[in-house]
């Protein structure tokens, strides 16, 4: 059972709305960790869905999670609007109870539908709100709540034009953990028991997996091309996260293949990325920021159904400078994968050049800027 927070002049209480995907959860956790490092007495409680990714990741990170209800806003013409309204009202009531119980100084949301009920409840309760937007094209929730929030931290200058004029935007970047900037490939490989001379590919399709990426790996195995690759290049290894929803069967199939490590979700994904020579995956905003921080060469395959194709916009921030290859979802096949693996195995200098270019896009002070904005919002709220 949650404890009521006894506050004094030294304490800071923050309620955080973050969930749905790791792209919303991890930025919130990074900010939470940074805040605790600066102010150890800070009380931070997350609000999210039961039986969800945040229920797993947030609690593993050591933070308390109170369960709320939240539903994705249905598209125009959908028959689910009544359910959305009912669940949203229920979620707002739950969040109002959380606010009454914890008496937060500020509410933080990293966007997405999971944070919406908490932000709405905070505005009703006159609690200051800070939003963070990871993508170049802001999501619907942040666009809607932006004008009513004390500040919106954005990760791309291009995001400003999508917010109404009275919205206070602050260009900060994405809150990537300092561990990404300080990562050492040799140490990461020691932790994972990977040979230092191995050519390590890491494929991650996000927390829920990516069917296109999974199928390409399954097909390259079925075609016999993977067996040929490792016969000709015995130091070649591939690690793939297949997804927590529907990836178990694929994970089981790939786990028995030589030189392939498959998992539904890589909880130590940061270490795997630090140990990699090449990353292949979707182009979520946090993914692009993390591989930039690592200086990790990549093949980015934007999710084709992302709202307004925002993942392609994210990917182009790296591909346009030569730090990544951009491949359309429909073009990412076993043949494409085979050709690119062979190409990079035989042109190591290209990887080295891509690494330098990727590193140039990293923004190591993003978390500090968001924290500074957060403290300003708190200070203004106490005036």
Residues 61-117 pLDDT 10s: 999 999 999 988 776 666 677 777 888 999 999 999 999 999 999 999 999 899 999
The secondary structure of the chain in percent helix, strand, coil, rounded to multiples of 5, reads 50, 15, 35
Length of the chain: 383
Q: 157 or 127, which is more confident?
A: 127
Q: Would you place residue 8 in the very low, low, confident or very high pLDDT band (cuts 50, 70, 90)?
A: very low
Instruction: Please compute Rg for the chain using Cα positions.
Output: 21
What pLDDT does 382 receive? 83
Q: Would you place residue 5 in the very low, low, confident or very high pLDDT band (cuts 50, 70, 90)?
A: very low
What pLDDT does 383 receive? 74
Rounded Cα–Cα distance for residues 290 and 149 (Å): 27
In the β-sheet with 236-241, what is the strand arrangement from edge to edge? 260-263, 236-241, 199-204, 278-281, 298-300, 324-326
Residues 129/109, Cβ–Cβ less than 8 Å: yes
Strand ranges for 118-177 from DSSP E? 129-133, 151-154, 169-171
What pLDDT does 259 receive? 98
Domain ranges within the chain, ordered by starting residue? 13-176+364-381, 179-359
Residues 178-187 pLDDT 10s: 889 999 999 9
Q: 75 or 226, which is more confident?
A: 226
CA distances for 53 relative to 209, 332, 366, angstroms: 12, 27, 25
What pLDDT does 207 receive? 65
Superfamily, domain 13-176+364-381 = Glycogen Phosphorylase B; (3.40.50.2000)
SS3 state at 369? helix
CA distances for 165 relative to 80, 148, 169, 376, angstroms: 32, 12, 10, 20
In the predicted model, what is the mean pLDDT of residues 356-380?
Answer: 94
Classified by CATH at the fold level, domain 179-359 comes out as Rossmann fold (3.40.50)
Stated pTM of the model: 0.77
Rounded Cα–Cα distance for residues 367 and 47 (Å): 21
What pLDDT does 80 receive? 73
Average pLDDT of the residues of the chain: 91
Beta bridge partners of 240: 203, 262
Lowest mean pLDDT among 68-82, 117-131, 142-156, 222-236: 68-82
What are the two backbone dihedrals, phi and then psi, of residue 20, each rounded to the nearest 5 degrees? 95, -60
What pLDDT does 209 receive? 67
In the predicted model, what is the mean pLDDT of residues 316-321?
Answer: 92
In the predicted model, what is the mean pLDDT of residues 136-164?
Answer: 91
Q: Would you place residue 159 in the very low, low, confident or very high pLDDT band (cuts 50, 70, 90)?
A: confident
Residues 9-49 pLDDT 10s: 458 999 999 998 878 898 999 999 999 999 999 999 999 99
Q: pLDDT above 90 covers what percent of the chain?
A: 75
What pLDDT does 362 receive? 87
Residues 227-280 pLDDT 10s: 999 999 999 999 999 987 677 889 999 999 999 999 998 989 999 999 999 999
DSSP 44-98: EEEEE-TTSHHHHHHHHTT-EEEE----PPPPTT-TTHHHHHHHHHHHHHHHHHH
What pLDDT does 76 receive? 65
- Two tokens, residue 5: 């927070």
Rounded Cα–Cα distance for residues 366 and 177 (Å): 9
Q: What angle do CA 174, 177, 180 make, to 5 degrees?
A: 105
In the predicted model, what is the mean pLDDT of residues 324-335?
Answer: 98
3: pLDDT strictly greater than 70: no
358: exposed, middle or buried (C-beta count within 10 Å: 0-12, 13-18, 19+)? buried
What pLDDT does 7 receive? 46
Residues 279/298, Cβ–Cβ less than 8 Å: yes
Please determine whether the domains at 13-176+364-381 and 179-359 fall in the same fold group of CATH.
yes
In the predicted model, what is the mean pLDDT of residues 311-339?
Answer: 96
In the predicted model, what is the mean pLDDT of residues 208-236?
Answer: 94
Q: Would you place residue 151 in the very low, low, confident or very high pLDDT band (cuts 50, 70, 90)?
A: very high
What pLDDT does 74 receive? 72
In the predicted model, what is the mean pLDDT of residues 127-152?
Answer: 94
What pLDDT does 301 receive? 97
């Amino acid at each position: 059972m949650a404890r009521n927070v006894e506050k004094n002049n030294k304490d800071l209480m923050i309620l955080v709305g973050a969930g749905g995907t790791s792209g919303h959860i991890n930025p919130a956790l990074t900010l939470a960790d940074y805040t605790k490092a600066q102010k150890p007495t800070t009380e931070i409680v997350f609000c999210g869905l039961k039986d969800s990714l945040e229920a797993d990741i947030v609690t593993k990170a050591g933070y308390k999670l109170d369960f709320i209800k939240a539903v994705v806003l249905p598209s125009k013409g959908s028959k689910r609007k009544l359910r959305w309204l009912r669940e949203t009202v229920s979620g707002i009531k739950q969040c109002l109870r959380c606010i009454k119980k914890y008496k937060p100084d500020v509410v933080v949301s990293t966007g997405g539908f999971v944070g919406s009920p908490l932000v709405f409840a905070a505005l009703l309760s006159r609690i200051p709100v800070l939003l963070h937007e990871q993508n170049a094209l802001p999501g619907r929730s942040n666009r809607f709540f932006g004008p009513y929030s004390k500040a919106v931290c954005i990760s791309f200058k291009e995001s400003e034009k999508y917010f109404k004029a009275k919205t206070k935007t602050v260009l900060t970047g994405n809150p990537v953990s300092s561990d990404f900037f300080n990562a050492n490939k040799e140490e990461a490989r020691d932790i994972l028991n990977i040979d230092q001379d191995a050519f390590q590919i890491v494929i991650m399709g996000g927390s829920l997996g990516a069917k296109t990426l999974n199928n390409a790996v399954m097909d390259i195995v079925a075609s016999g091309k993977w067996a040929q690759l490792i016969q000709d290049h015995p130091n070649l290894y591939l690690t793939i996260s297949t997804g927590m929803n529907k990836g178990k069967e694929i994970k089981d199939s790939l786990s028995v293949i030589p030189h392939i490590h498959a998992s539904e979700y890589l909880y130590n994904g940061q270490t795997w990325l630090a140990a990699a020579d090449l990353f292949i995956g979707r182009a979520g905003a946090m993914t692009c920021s993390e591989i930039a921080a690592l200086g990790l060469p990549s093949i980015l395959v934007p999710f084709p159904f992302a709202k307004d194709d925002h993942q392609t916009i994210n990917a182009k921030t790296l591909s346009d400078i030569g730090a990544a290859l951009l491949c359309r979802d429909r073009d990412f096949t076993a043949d494409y994968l085979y050709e690119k693996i062979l190409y990079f195995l035989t042109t190591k200098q290209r990887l080295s050049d891509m690494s330098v270019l990727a590193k140039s896009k990293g923004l190591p002070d993003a978390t500090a800027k968001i924290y500074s904005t957060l403290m300003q919002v708190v200070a203004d709220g106490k005036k």
